[in-house]
Structure 1
Amino acid sequence: MHTIKRSPILKLVVAVALNLGVLLLCQQYWRTTGEDGGIARSGRAATAGDRSAEQILIQQGHQHIPIVLTNAQFHIIFFDSSNINKVPEELYLTHDVAIPYDIPAWTAADSAALRTAMGYDMMMALLKPEYNLHEDVHEKEQLDFARSARGERVYKSLWNFLRPVFESLPGDTSAEKERVFIKELAPKRADVDFFLRLEKRLYPFLHLKHRTSFTLFDSYKGKGFVLCAGNNQFKFIVSSIQAIRRLQPDLPIQLFHMGEGDLSKERQEYVREMTHNIEVVDITEVLDNDHMRLGGWSIKAYSMLASRFEEVILVDSDAYFLQDPAKLFDDPGYKATGGLFFYDRTLFTDWHAGPNFLRSMMPIMSTLPTQLRSFRGISQHEQESGVVVINKKTRLNGLLAICKMNSKWERDLVSYRVFYGDKETFWTGFEMAQEPYAFMRTYGSVVGELRDDPVKEIERLEAALENEDESHPRSEREKQKDQDEIQYHKRRPVLEKEAVCGAQLHLDHLGQPMWWNGGLMRNKNEGVQRILDFKYWMMAGGMSEHRERNVRDKELQRELLWDLGKESMDDVEKDAVEDPEWIFHESCMYGGEARLLEEEKKRLTESYIEMDRVGKEDEAKIKSGESVDPKVHDWDSM
């Protein structure tokens, strides 16, 4: 030792050896703790309970799952750009893509941790009910969306972990496997028991015909369309369904309702007979309505969940297609993410309720929300839910989160108060579960008529009322329609700019008209009962530099200017071609190029108008008690 102290060379050799030893120990330590994404932890011997968990996994064929048993019971993940999923670079040219941060995978170590005091405490916190089945909830503070979001993300990780276990169980059917899962595994395994109870807490509506989501999941097959209608929507749904059939003759359709009190037997029978490969389904016979308490828009998300399709396109009763809707299954944004949404119109600035709500319940969001108009204070409306496309085999957890936001108390006290109905619950539900999704890049556009001169239109209508042809007298109802339209035109602002007025149009990823919603009337919101003349369309803005010119937040402005390489917002404004703007009550858009609708698409709209006329005539007969046979109509020739 005396020699070592005096020799610099020996000191150097010892120092190097010690450092190498420490480095090897650290490498071994990181290799052990890094397998399950955890932070630094000290090891310990496995307990008897831990070994039984490992044995069960091995018995189920999961020898490849690493068993890392340590003192620390919970994972802490530091998110960075290396965690995010990748999508094709060219996709960003046509879509806005939400890339979620990876939720840590559930491991055997997590399962073992459930037997500890801390594990038990965590379970109890997530399983605590917010309200009971028959409780009348009045205080929105009772609904903890942040805790629900945490529970949904934990559920997602556990679902993915236990799904292979479920598949490996003995039994020829999912129902047989489910019995083994509940009767034999749940009493022995804390993770299975926790999964079943967490599912019951978050999604109790699943358990009418199914004891777990796994059997419902296994029932999904193929592709198809889902629509929803009650008696009030029946007059629209006839032409909407026939419009799908005109362009897509093969894929099945399911029409959902909430029982005979919602859609009468006569109307159900009419739908079954009006076309081929169509089913009429009472959703309350598939999912538990005691927990959903459906009404209005809320049936839409649940119908997607209840449908028998693996890949599903949800279509509103007043939505019509200008191309084969099945093309949406081949959309590159949908294929990359499993969830395709469409933007609404840009309407109502300086709205903060939605962004504040999302920030309050989700400290971690995907890459997209902060880029959205609603987060930038540009538009209150973000998504239009007239058409939604979801792959339930890959995005079931996102759809379950959407449904949760549309449950009775969640929608009445929070979701539908923060947002306008169900629309924003689709992308925010995917955010809660951290599922990827894509928005078609263009905002809500318009299809319809080139704007007429309101003054001349008033003069024409008033002259028609004053100089009525006595040989062809019109009914009081027809005269009242003209009076309504006169009042409508008197409220219209006079614009110098060219405008297209009509229904909200949505484009495909190539920028071509794909579908519209809002029905066939000139302006359903203003009560002008005149059929729209579909001749022109105008494209709205999208993800472009100038769309952010209205950003008011100074910090966001600085970020934007840095991204665009500009010195001031004036430079952004100077280089921009202004986005077309909506006159909401007019259902008009001005400031863009008015384009002629292709003749083939115009003929489609004319056929839809004829289908709508026949459907409304049959609806009037049904309402009067007559028996109506839809097969007497030659729908294909309309």
Structure 2
Amino acid sequence: MLTKPKTIRITIAVFFVLCILAFSASFYRNTLFDRPRPIYKAEVELHVSEPELNLTKVKQLSQQYDFAVTPPPKPWSEKDLEFFQSIAGETVFSQLAIIPEAHETPDFTKITAAERLFKSLFNHFDKILSNDPSLHPANSSQHKASWELYTRLERSLYPWLYPYWENAFHINNQTSGQGIVMCVGNNQFKFAASSVRALRQVLHSQLPIEIFYIRENDLSPAKRTYFTTQFKNVSLVKLDDYVGEYYTRFGGWAMKPFALLASRFSEVIMMDADAFFFQDPALLFQDKGYALAGSLFFYDRTLFANWEKGPDWLRSFLSTMTSFVPNTRWFKGTSSHEQESGVIVMNKKKSLLGLLATCKLNGITERDEVVYKHIHGDKETFWIGHEMMQTPYAFIKSFGAVIGNMGRGGEDGDPTQVCGNQLHLDTEQVPLWLNGGLYRDKHKQPLEYLNFTHFAQGNDWDFQTSCIRETNRISALSKTLHQVAMDSIQIDIQRAKDEEMIDAGTWKPFSLPSDKAPL
């Protein structure tokens, strides 16, 4: 008698689960017990050195940061290779190393398992290749079999790496130094041009800046020329020259983690076009939480409680997570937003693998079929990607605040409340940066600048008026920071005049003596 199709599917599913369990048991056992380990030179610099967080330091900084402390990575061994070369192991591996067709729902349980296996193989070969950069694993009888597994996983997980990078090890070979990355299209130009000038002219930041755009028509040639002629050490980068478009199909938010990946900087401050700093952003590279974890994030506002769709999705595929996750507002149901991705600080020498997982979440199939249906754009993908790859990260312990002025009644907010744009504080609770631009409402015409007199902290946001209802944590903005805001507004007024000329085709780049050279 023929077996019914449903029975066949169940039998295959049970077999696959048993194989996964068998591999997991073997992999876990090999991790716990002694095994021969190769000896490497202590002075060799790895492509990626993920930090193992010192719990004493974590505790010392716990009043200022929330840390995601990840378990030590599981090392790859010959026994793991033996398993994957078996019939059962090849069956498991073939399920992990696949690229879903467009509009086919990705299986995030398999993706997570594949990424953690990829990490073990990456770390294995990182030690080998760092000790002998001339080695070609594909031509080595000792390493060929494991390298083939690594290559299959990398090509299935991150197909957009090619052809620009030969493999993931080449990414950090081409990076160095510190800098700022911004993603800018024609619609974001008005924010970005003013923000860059404020960095140079008001805060006197000398950090090099990369402006990423997607395609030729994404940012007009005239606006590109504006950036390169008005400012020193600002370069333009077309993202689809570096990242394969077929599996990404960028638009809007999704390009941000890929721009981070493609940046020439090893240490990067990714900032949205409408983000404005009150302090020199270079201070973030000296931040203690960043130094310890390698990736530093900021919290969003507390908004829209009882959001279950996102956390339920995460529980459905992330079987192991750090102790940070259950303590988030997201998981507790007090806010549908956890992270504000307007500023990301990342050391790719430490956090490259977490960044790769973040990029994966923003691929065309992943984001359209699953991810963006459960979260708001790219925001949560950074910490979720780090969780999937078990890469450490830290949040500054301060939820999104508000900066602007006291409400003026009616639609502008209660006069006892501070109303304006979202503000982010440093570890000393001093205003660090805002997002949403310098206007009271960037979506409302005519545009009106904020007065920048006060800021407030709290969790009770009035979304319609953009005010915090709590009145017990209101502070007056210092004269110094108020002046930063006023100077930035004057810059934006001049930018608006320049942009009118750009759009009319009458603006001309600098052709002045050297003392009038770009900032």
2:461 — aligned with what?
582
Please state if 1:220 is matched with 2:220.
no
CA distance 1:632–1:530, change in 2 (3 Å): farther
2:431 is equivalent to residue 513 of structure 1? yes
The aligned amino acid for 2:55 is: K
Counterparts of 1:79-118 in structure 2, within 5 Å, are 86-88=55-57, 89-118=59-88
- Superposed displacement of residue 235, structure 1: 1.2
1:375 and 2:375 equivalent? no
Q: CA deviation at 1:240?
A: 1.0
Residues 603, 34 of structure 1: alpha-carbon distance in 2 compared, 3 angstrom cutoff = closer
The answer to whether the 8 Å contact 2:310/2:374 transfers is yes
Aligned partner of 1:480 in structure 2 is: none
**Which one-letter code corresponds to 2:74 in the other structure?**
P
Structure 2 residue matching 1:608: 3-state secondary structure: helix
Q: CA deviation at 1:87?
A: 5.0
After TM superposition, give the deviation of residue 362 of structure 1 in Å: 0.6
Corresponding position of 2:452: 534
Residue identity (%): 36
Distance 2:174 2:518 in 1: 37
Q: Deviations over 1:314-356 (max 9, x none)?
A: 0000000111111111111111111111111110111111111
Amino acid at match of 1:406: N
**Structure 2 counterpart of 1:593:** 473
Deviation digits for residues 487-521 of structure 1 (CA, Å, limit 9, x no counterpart): x45xx6xx4x7211111100001111100001011
Residue 96 of structure 2 aligns with which residue? Answer: 126
Matched residue type, 2:477: L
Where does residue 31 of structure 2 map in the other structure? 37
* Superposition deviation, residue 108 in structure 1: 3.3
The superposition leaves residues 547-578 of structure 1 with CA deviations (integer Å, 9 ceiling, x where unpaired) of xxxxxxxxxxxxxxxxxxxxxxxxxxxxxxxx
Task: Indicate how the Cα distance of structure 1 residues 398 and 637 shifts in structure 2: closer, same or farther if over 3 A, else same.
Answer: closer
Alpha-carbon distance change, 587 to 163 in structure 1, aligned in 2, over 3 angstroms: same
**Residue 396 (structure 2) pairs with residue 440 (structure 1):** yes
2:217 and 2:210 map into 1 onto residues whose CA distance is 19
Q: Distance in 2 between matches of 1:102 and 1:166?
A: 21
Q: 1:231-630, aligned counterparts within 5 Å?
A: 231-245=186-200, 246-454=202-410, 488=411, 495=414, 498-527=416-445, 529-540=447-458, 580-591=459-470, 592-629=472-509
Unaligned runs of 5+ in 1: 1-32, 44-53, 65-82, 172-176, 455-487, 541-579
The alignment status of 1:163 with 2:130, answered yes or no, reads no
State the distance in 1 between where 2:56 and 2:287 align: 14
Q: State the alpha-carbon separation in 2 of the partners of residues 636 and 84 from structure 1.
A: 46
Which residue is equivalent to 1:559?
Answer: none
Task: Tell which deviates more after alignment, 345-354 or 521-530.
Answer: 521-530
Question: Structure 1 counterpart of 2:386, which letter?
Answer: F
Deviation per residue, 1:49-93 (Å, 9 max, x gap):
xxxxx9xx97xx7699xxxxxxxxxxxxxxxxxx98625122111
**Structure 2: distance between partners of 1:120 and 1:248:** 57
- Relative distance call for 1:416 and 1:529 in structure 2 (3 A) is same
One-letter code aligned to 2:119: K
Describe the SS at the equivalent of 1:92. coil
SS in 2 for 1:290: coil
- Indicate if the aligned counterparts of 1:522 and 1:528 stay in contact, CA closer than 8 A: no
Q: 1:151 aligns with which of 102, 114, 137?
A: 114
User: Within 2, Cα distance between the matches of 1:34 and 1:123?
Assistant: 17
Q: Structure 2 CA distance, aligned partners of 1:390 and 1:511? A: 21
Q: Secondary structure at the match of 2:181?
A: strand
CA offset at residue 624 of structure 1?
Answer: 1.5
CA contact (8 A) 2:270 2:344 kept: yes
Q: Give the aligned CA root-mean-square deviation in angstroms.
A: 2.7
Q: How does 1:193-212 map to 2 (within 5 A)?
A: 193-212=148-167
Letter in 2 for 1:231: N
CA contact (8 A) 2:181 2:263 kept: yes
Verify the 8 A CA contact 1:158 1:195 in the aligned structure 2: yes
Unaligned runs of 5+ residues in structure 2 are 1-26, 43-51
8 A contact 1:313–1:390 mirrored in 2: yes
Secondary structure, in 3 states, of the residue corresponding to 2:243? coil
Report the CA distance between 1:428 and its aligned residue: 0.7
User: Structure 1's 370 and 304: CA in aligned 2 closer, same or farther, altered over 3 A?
Assistant: same
Structure 1 residues 35 and 584 mapped into 2: Cα distance closer, same or farther (>3 Å)? Answer: closer
Matched letter for residue 460 of structure 2: E
1 or 2 for the larger relative contact order (CA 8 Å, sep ≥6)?
2
Contact 1:84/1:102 (<8 A) preserved: no
TM-score where L is the length of structure 2: 0.87
Rg bigger for which structure? 1
Q: Which amino acid in the other structure matches residue 81 of structure 2? A: S
The structure where helix makes up a greater share of residues is 1
Residues 205 and 280, structure 2, Cα contact 8 Å, conserved in 1: no
Shift of residue 259 of structure 1? 2.1
> In 1, Cα distance between the equivalents of 2:431 and 2:518?
23
Change in Cα spacing, 1:107 to 1:221, as seen in structure 2 (3 Å) is same
CA 121–373 in structure 1, closer or farther in 2 if over 3 Å, else same: same
Structure 2 counterpart of 1:610, which letter? Answer: Q
Other structure's SS at 1:387 match: strand
1:511 aligns to what SS in structure 2? coil
- CA deviation map 1:203-235 (0-9, x unaligned): 011112111011112111111100010111111
Letter aligned with residue 594 of structure 1:
I
Distance 2:28 2:357 in 1: 30
Alpha-carbon offset, residue 636 of structure 1: 11
Shift of 1:616: 1.8
Q: Which residue does 2:12 correspond to in 1? A: none
Alpha-carbon distance in 1 for matches of 2:141, 2:159: 18
The CA distance in 2 between the partners of 1:534 and 1:85, in whole Å, is 40
Q: Is the 8 A contact 1:242 1:635 kept in 2?
A: no
Q: Which amino acid aligns with 2:481?
A: K
Tell whether the 8 Å contact from 1:618 to 1:628 is kept in structure 2 after alignment.
Answer: no
Instruction: Give 3-state SS (helix, strand or coil) of 2:345's partner.
Output: strand
